[in-house]
Amino acid sequence: MNYTSTRNNTLSVSSSFAIANGISTEGGLFVPTDIPKVTADFIESLVPMTYIERARKVLSLYLTDFTDEEIDEDTLGAYSTGFTHEKVAPLVNLHDNINILELWHGPTCAFKDMALQLLPYLLTGSAERMSDGKETVILVATSGDTGKAALEGFKDVPGTKILVFYPSEGVSAMQKLQMTTQQGSNVGVCAIKGNFDDAQTGVKTIFTDPAVKEKLLNNNMAFSSANSINWGRLVPQIVYYFSAYADMIASGQIVNGEKINFTVPTGNFGNILAAYYAMEMGLPVNKLICASNANNVLTEFINTGRYNRVRQFHTTVSPSMDILVSSNLERLLFHLSGDNSEEIKALFSALSEKGEYTVSDEMLMKIQKAFAAGCCDDTDTKKTIGETFNSYNYLSDPHTGVAINVYNEYRASTGDNTPTVIVSTASPYKFSPAVLEGLGEAPSSDDEFELMSALDSISGVPAPAKLTELWGAKPRFTDICEKDEMQGIVFSMLGI
């Protein structure tokens, strides 16, 4: 199985090459040239399996230059100890045929762990095959959760260094504390004055600058990426869509072959794109429902075909979705265009020059066949958190709250009663102030940990130990830089 680039479809590389390099030299993203197909028997075989066994089956379809032993070791390393739930990604019934897929039982309490616990294994294996002894430098731009999850995944991994940039005022207090207190000898963290898109653009610029690349090479280093532009981030996420479907068969909610919906709280379009790959592989899916917060650029795009990033940026209670440029959409458009990299280059140069593009009617039809979309603001997000807790005794974080709200609207307006999985992407305790407000309790203090215990006693849901243990921890990384200082920070953190 080979991979090509969304901006150069004549390229053909292995999965190791795609993962080790992160992004293609001309700025395109790596995508599989053929999406593997599975049968009903394949899906049936997953039903009695553990999460690790399911992961092995799905991953081996994509990582064909990895040996079976390697995939066995990597999945065992990633999922056997770091997760506090024995099922890794448990499916919880909310009511009737509506389920929540909890993806936040990993070490940082957000769904990014699902991929970032595995990525260091995939990346070190890939780098061994590809980069002849060079040290791998991971650069990350984060809207909050990726940074911490990547730091946890890569800390003290031999042959790697990891540097994380986050928007100084654009992450929750808990997210900031998680990152600034990170341990490990190969890690660096810096805040930037700007929003997530600024951080992402800065990282992409450093990444694709030939002079920077050369300077790294001279020091026997090479960049890679832990952002969801890296194929090694996306492929682990395909697994849990199969896993959720298998669990729905196991619980008797569906029979194999019956279609289901997925609702995904979306920012950079990585998580929902993984669901699209699962669907293209043959997982029976009716609709993928893309849920956004007030930064509703994707809602408009999926409903009209026009992507316009020129708009006000909103800082919301679901900060990991505060994004106006959703990188992974490029991969979807490439597949839907029939692998037409010229068309993709034209769309994305329009995006960078004019701030917008509009896809063809034909492309829009294909998008709307697979996807529906909706959005909600902070007031409705909090209201949904409260209603969901009162009606079903289920405590959700604000990102999941957005998804539940958008799904309820979708079901009411379409009458589509297909069994549904709503993807839950973070522990409510990462966002205690907003969750408390949702429950109708005004936050009584500024202290994140007092709020966590307040939430704990109101909801009866225990706070994760990984978060409570940060109480009293001293921040280790306190630097803030301007956007145009990022490159200098990278060099100084690397000591080059």
Ligand X SMILES: *Cc1c(COP(=O)(O)O)cnc(C)c1O
Residues that bind ligand X (CB under 6 A): 110-112, 145, 228, 265-271, 320-321, 399, 425-426
Report the DSSP beta bridge partners of residue 30.
Answer: 5
- From the list 144, 143, 135, 181, the residue with the least C-alpha distance to 162 is 135
Rounded to the nearest whole angstrom, what is the least distance from the CB of residue 297 to ligand X in the complex? 12
* Residues contacting residue 160 through CB under 8 Å, at least 6 positions apart: 120, 123, 124, 135, 136, 137, 138, 154, 186
What is the DSSP annotation of 295-351? --HHHHHHHHSEEE--S-----S-GGG--SS-TTHHHHHHHHTTS-HHHHHHHHHHH
Nearer to ligand X, 117 or 266 (CB): 266
Nearer to ligand X, 119 or 489 (CB): 119
What is the DSSP annotation of 47-79? TTS-HHHHHHHHHHHH-TTS-HHHHHHHHHHHH
- Contact indicator for 147, 179 with CB cutoff of 8 Å: yes
- Contact indicator for 119, 131 with CB cutoff of 8 Å: no
162 three-state secondary structure: strand
Neighbouring CB atoms inside 10 A of 183's CB total: 11
Rounded to the nearest whole angstrom, what is the least distance from the CB of residue 425 to ligand X in the complex? 3
**In terms of residues, how long is the chain?**
496
Rounded to the nearest whole angstrom, what is the least distance from the CB of residue 486 to ligand X in the complex? 21
Report the DSSP beta bridge partners of residue 291.
Answer: 265, 374
Rounded to the nearest whole angstrom, what is the least distance from the CB of residue 273 to ligand X in the complex? 7
Nearer to ligand X, 121 or 269 (CB): 269
* Strands (DSSP E) found in 65-181: 91-95, 98-102, 135-141, 160-167
Nearer to ligand X, 79 or 111 (CB): 111
Nearer to ligand X, 269 or 334 (CB): 269
User: Kind and range of the H or E element at 143?
Assistant: none
- Contact indicator for 483, 198 with CB cutoff of 8 Å: yes
Rounded to the nearest whole angstrom, what is the least distance from the CB of residue 443 to ligand X in the complex? 20
- From the list 148, 204, 201, the residue with the least C-alpha distance to 319 is 148
Rounded to the nearest whole angstrom, what is the least distance from the CB of residue 299 to ligand X in the complex? 13
Active-site residue flag, 474: no
- Contact indicator for 119, 226 with CB cutoff of 8 Å: yes
Nearer to ligand X, 285 or 403 (CB): 403
Q: From the candidates 87, 112, 155, 383, which is the catalytic residue?
A: 112
Rounded to the nearest whole angstrom, what is the least distance from the CB of residue 246 to ligand X in the complex? 22
Rounded to whole angstroms, how far apart are CA atoms 221 and 163? Answer: 14
Nearer to ligand X, 13 or 332 (CB): 332
Rounded to the nearest whole angstrom, what is the least distance from the CB of residue 73 to ligand X in the complex? 26
Nearer to ligand X, 145 or 437 (CB): 145
Rounded to whole angstroms, how far apart are CA atoms 424 and 403? Answer: 8
Catalytic residues: 112
